[in-house]
Structure 1
Amino acid sequence: MVGRKKRTTICDKELQKEDLISNLHEPLISEILLRLSTKDAVRTSLLSKRWRYLWQTVPGLDLALYDFLNINFSNIDAFFKFVERFFDSHRESWIRKLRLYLGYRHHICGLKSWIDAVTRPKIQHLDVNYYSSDEIPVSIYTCETLVHLRLEWVSLPNTEFVSLPCLKIMHLKRIRFTSDTTLEKLISGSPVLEDLKLFGCSNHNAIQLRSHTLKKIDMDMDHSSGFVIDAPLLQCLKTKIASTKDFQIISSGFPAKLDIDLQWRRRRPLERPPKKVIRDILADIRRVSDLVITSDILKEFFLYSKSRTVRQFRNLSRLHARFAICDIEMLPALLESCTKLESLIMVI
């Protein structure tokens, strides 16, 4: 009897938990569903009559085309009609979040109109992954409420004017720029930008990254003619160096944290990087107190000059080192070089 009573109590508690969630006001439930993908939000309609239509009130659309083609829709036309119905149902209300992962095998003729529809009202989060020669509409450059922008594979048109007064996070991956000045305008037109990520983009001319608010820059470029960084509040710079050090920091202040990886050995396993590249990296490391580094760079430092390496690391207080097992013998010399070290993280 005691055991039965205990199980009943647990069931009652579970029912109470369900009631607490179901009895929340619709605006709060809508905020919860906004954190889910649209696919998962739609699934909540099966919970009860109370939840049947709640997902339709969510001020956001988060869709990955491949998920819906495999699970919900039999063809691309059905997907297109679903998105159109969503925008029709929100015509009188504003959309805060739009995330579309469309891939590269399908042509989405309505993409421009969809982006136009959300950038004119009060969208805050825009995330588009779509491989196409079609350019994103220029309305994206003057969205007054946009806070988080993430674009992948898209083509950005040239523009004379950018005004993104609320944009704090901008992540651009595999972007095709019609002009090298487009990126400079994006940054200069974002007066509160704090987090910038550039991955797999290409620039033919040196680009000026000027911002009085940037705190974090993450760069991993395929082909780059270099960046001149003028960001006095920069706290962290993360970058990968392939053949040359393609960035120069001209700010009065230098970031406290540097996360740097050398890809030379992966691309040229039989060659060593030029001494100038190593010397330039060492000059930057001398100025930071927090360093994330790989064993490839450490090995080059020790081969370059052990005595110089000892002097270069003496100001570090935090070190995160990614070691290969075969390079672990460098650890004692590395620790001797870090006389002010307070925190050490090793990943092997």
Structure 2
Amino acid sequence: MEERKAKGIRPAGGDMISKLPDALISQILMYLPTKEAVRTSVLSSRWKSLWLLISELDLDSFEFPDYNAFASFIDKFLAFSREEESCVHKLKLLIMKRKRDQACVRRWIDFVATRRVKHLDVGYRYVSRKRFEVVPMSLFICETLLSLRLNRVLIGSFESVSLPRLKTLCLDNNAYANDTGLESLISSCPVLEDLSIFRRLDDNVKVLRVHSQTITSLKLGFDRGGDHGFFVFDWDSLWLFVDAPRLKYLTFEQELAPNKVISNLGSLVKVCFVDIVRITYSFKDFNLSELQMVRNFFNGVSRVREMVISQDMMEIMFHYMELETFPQFCNLSCLEAKVCLRRVKLLEILPTLLESFPSLKSIVLDVTHNMDDTPPITVSFVPHCLLSSLEFVEIKSRYEAEFVLMELARYFAENSVILKKLVMSWERSKLKEDDVLRDLLALSWRSSTCQIEVSGPHKRLVGAS
């Protein structure tokens, strides 16, 4: 055997992969990144063009010497597909285009849209608004399309939309002909399940309507990075309407439209409010119409089971509770909230807030910035969830808010009947883990089976009530 290797003689059977038919090899190459699949062309004369048979293309223009080389490569691939009458099932392009670079994206999209594409993802690292390429109309009548992501393009007017198989739609930093065009695109997808829209201030959309009988996941927000007119924008002109009876997962991430009307969200499972989220233009001092909008909004999401609340949303809730009783969230079992103690008097409102969540099982409080003083939580009544359902509490402290930790822990320890675990963690503090655990163990625990976990910047400790 060693002699055969020394002479360069191949073992019996030879190169088994090269004996496979071209169609099967192209299937194998699809499991490789496009860049690696192309590199196989140097193996032999037979392999020189095999990578062109793959039906999926995933490219980043940064991996080419310049944009012209990138465009030439794609043109060659699509020309070969045309000659072979083959289909491009998946096309993913990430593009960096400069001022003088030629416009190619429109014809690339048009080609794959008429070749039964299933997955299309076209995005730019950056391109100025005035150089957005217009999406061809052929894309919106592509009956094979399953998922679509468009980033920094212009979606113009169209007479009709026919996307009978589209299930995932992601629209990121695009511009549109008008409000009705975007509304028509959303409502004309009969099996759409996952919708994500991140907007820009100059996208030509003042009123966003999401009306769908099939959407189960919805993510909406604004990208503030490239909007230089952010502070002088006419925010009062922005409206958001959501009517989606099968919606289960709703995320607002920097969703800044101050006028929100939501309805028919009876199937809601989880709501996430990330960063700044507006329900009205102001976060407090609501006038009558703003108060009505805030009330309707919270009532609209009140059937949710899990909720993640940002600092800004917590501030809106706090000021709303100063005026009215917060609605009952009877199905809510998991709550995660970020709280800035300089803006929200958490220790004052906590019992009343918890009374709105009678079925709560888990709560995570992430508190930041210390209060001027730390008064004890007044216990005039014990919320229903502390008596019957609350099992897990986690209290996090950041930015010198650790002095509130013990008061919150004391409240939950002395009032939670079936609490199974309490976690306390903090950053950048002089608190010592051993001292904190000792103080926690000394509390009057109402639950006799609660595990206690302390996690500071130096170590993690565990104890039991």
Q: Alignment partner of 2:70: what SS? A: helix
After superposition, where does 1:70-149 map in structure 2 within 5 Å? 73=65, 75-91=66-82, 92-105=85-98, 107-130=101-124, 131=127, 132-149=131-148
**8 Å contact 1:302–1:309 — kept in the other structure?**
no
Higher relative contact order (CA 8 A, sep 6+): 1
Partner amino acid, structure 2, of 1:246: N
After superposition, where does 1:1-348 map in structure 2 within 5 Å? 30-31=26-27, 33-34=29-30, 36-43=32-39, 54-68=50-64, 73=65, 75-91=66-82, 92-105=85-98, 107-130=101-124, 131=127, 132-201=131-200, 202-221=203-222, 225-240=238-253, 245-251=258-264, 253-261=266-274, 263=276, 272-275=283-286, 276=291, 278-305=294-321, 312-322=328-338, 330=346, 333=351, 338-344=357-363
- Per-residue deviation, 1:145: 0.3
Partner amino acid, structure 1, of 2:81: H
Of Structure 1 and Structure 2, the greater helix share is in: 1
- Per-residue deviation, 1:93: 0.5
Unaligned runs of 5+ in 2: 1-14, 224-234, 367-395, 397-465
Q: Alignment partner of 1:90: what SS? A: helix
- Per-residue deviation, 1:288: 1.6
- Per-residue deviation, 1:197: 0.6
- Per-residue deviation, 1:156: 0.9
- Per-residue deviation, 1:172: 0.3
- Per-residue deviation, 1:311: 5.6
1:232-265 Cα distance to aligned partner (Å, 9 max, x none): 2111121146665433223273523221235169
- Per-residue deviation, 1:78: 2.3
**8 Å contact 1:319–1:343 — kept in the other structure?**
yes
Paired residues in the alignment total: 320
Q: Alignment partner of 1:115: what SS? A: helix
Partner amino acid, structure 2, of 1:167: L
Q: Alignment partner of 2:317: what SS? A: helix
Counterpart CA distance in 1 for 2:218 and 2:110 is 28
- Per-residue deviation, 1:340: 1.1
Counterpart CA distance in 2 for 1:28 and 1:344 is 53
**8 Å contact 1:310–1:338 — kept in the other structure?**
no
> Which moved further from structure 2: 115-124 or 49-58?
49-58
Counterpart CA distance in 1 for 2:40 and 2:365 is 43
Counterpart CA distance in 1 for 2:179 and 2:306 is 32
Counterpart CA distance in 1 for 2:20 and 2:336 is 45
Identity %: 36
Of structures 1 and 2, the larger Rg is shown by 2
- Per-residue deviation, 1:170: 0.5
**TM-score normalized by the length of structure 2:** 0.59
**8 Å contact 1:264–1:273 — kept in the other structure?**
no
Counterpart CA distance in 2 for 1:213 and 1:242 is 22
Structure 1 residues 305, 134: closer, same or farther in 2, change over 3 A? closer
- Per-residue deviation, 1:284: 3.3
Counterpart CA distance in 2 for 1:252 and 1:326 is 33
**8 Å contact 1:158–1:178 — kept in the other structure?**
yes
RMSD across aligned positions (CA): 3.6
1:152-202 Cα distance to aligned partner (Å, 9 max, x none): 000111011110111110100111101221112212221111111110244
Counterpart CA distance in 2 for 1:198 and 1:39 is 30
Counterpart CA distance in 1 for 2:18 and 2:240 is 52
**8 Å contact 1:289–1:317 — kept in the other structure?**
yes
> Which moved further from structure 2: 48-57 or 323-332?
323-332
Q: Alignment partner of 2:51: what SS? A: helix
1:198-224 Cα distance to aligned partner (Å, 9 max, x none): 102445443432221111111103667
> Which moved further from structure 2: 243-252 or 322-331?
322-331
Counterpart CA distance in 2 for 1:124 and 1:134 is 21
